[in-house]
Amino acid sequence: MTGEVLLSWCVLLFLLAYVSLRFGFSAVWDRMSLRRRLSARAGYGREPERGHRRWRRFGKLHSHAADLMAAVGWNVNPGPFYAASVFLGLVGVSAGMALFRTPRSAALLGAMMGLLPYVLLRMRLVSRQLAVRLEFLPAVELFYQCYLLTGGRQIRTALQKTVEERRLPGEVQAVFDQLARHLSLREDDEESLRRFCLAFGHTWADHFASILKVALTEGNPIAPNLKELIDDMRKAQLANQQERHRLLEIRLANFTPALFLGLFLAINFRMSPEGSYRYYVLDPTGRGMLLNALALMFGSFIMGIYLSRRKM
């Protein structure tokens, strides 16, 4: 009975951590997006910067987390993110010592639980990049039309008009809306453009951001550059669709280890329920094997995220 209780607590811990983080981050994102839309004109976009200053001493670590959260639309400072990671890491270490009673298992479970918020954040970013990848060309074409209507000078006005047209898909609309708002409210144009590139995650967004940066810093007309970029993107559109299919294949491959583990356990419990229960639940060796399998699956998720980034 003790082994069954321990296994139940282990499974419940993973499920509660995943569900709470997934829905918690989604709720924060939705709420902050709503508040941002309602108070953008009142200068709300400057508020998170004061909270960010307290974390500047972490340097690149702060910038990396802040850029990732901004790229997926979470307009919050990295403090709660770091706190959740540390808390889950400590919970994982405690659960590892209670369930497996070995320092190695405690460290392994603590590392997985501590990295879980970052992995979920990366998975959300990859999902957003896949959603906006094929819609980037129509968005640039719409911006080009709005830029010509403004006389070929006002970048911020053209971006605002592009957003106000409401002709872009949801995710792309949100990314362009975020860029237009940040450029109008913040002084750091380079940071805003960097997060814009991260939200799309491909070289075409980098080229587009470089063109905007030249226009914002030097004030030169960029209509010929935009026209050339659009022509190049139209030529490479078929290749982009093929790359998207490869990225979807990588994401599907991430879930195959979990499927095979579930199938393996189901067959074992079907053929020998009593023996499987004694080995996988009561025996510490069996529980350790399940922990190793979870660690390998966690590693496969990280590898899938890395490969997705390389493909983009």
Q: What is the DSSP string of 46-95?
A: GHHHHHHHTTGGGTHHHHHHHHHHHHTT--S-SHHHHHHHHHHHHHHHHH
Helix %, strand %, coil % of the chain (to 5): 85, 0, 15
Identify the domain boundary among 199, 216, 235. Answer: 235
CB contact at 8 A, 253 and 311: no
For residue 215, the Cα-to-chain-centroid distance in whole angstroms is: 29
Number of domains the chain is built from: 2
In a shared domain, residues 126 and 143: no
Would you say residue 240 lies in a domain?
Answer: no
Average pLDDT, the chain: 77
Q: Which residue has the higher pLDDT, 256 or 172?
A: 172
Nearest to 91 by CA among 117, 65, 123, 68: 117
The confidence score (pLDDT) of residue 234 equals 85
Assess whether 117 and 23 both reside in one domain.
yes
* 61: amino acid identity, one letter: L
Confidence band of 51 (pLDDT split at 50, 70, 90): very low
pLDDT digit string, tens, across residues 148-187: 888 767 888 889 898 988 888 778 888 898 888 888 876 6
Q: Which domain holds residue 160?
A: 136-235
Q: Are residues 122 and 143 in the same domain?
A: no
* Residues 105 and 13 occupy one common structural domain: yes
Query: Does 92 share its domain with 33?
Result: yes
Is residue 125 over pLDDT 50?
A: yes
Residues 179 and 299 grouped into a single domain: no
Which of 235, 254, 285 is the last residue before a domain boundary? 235
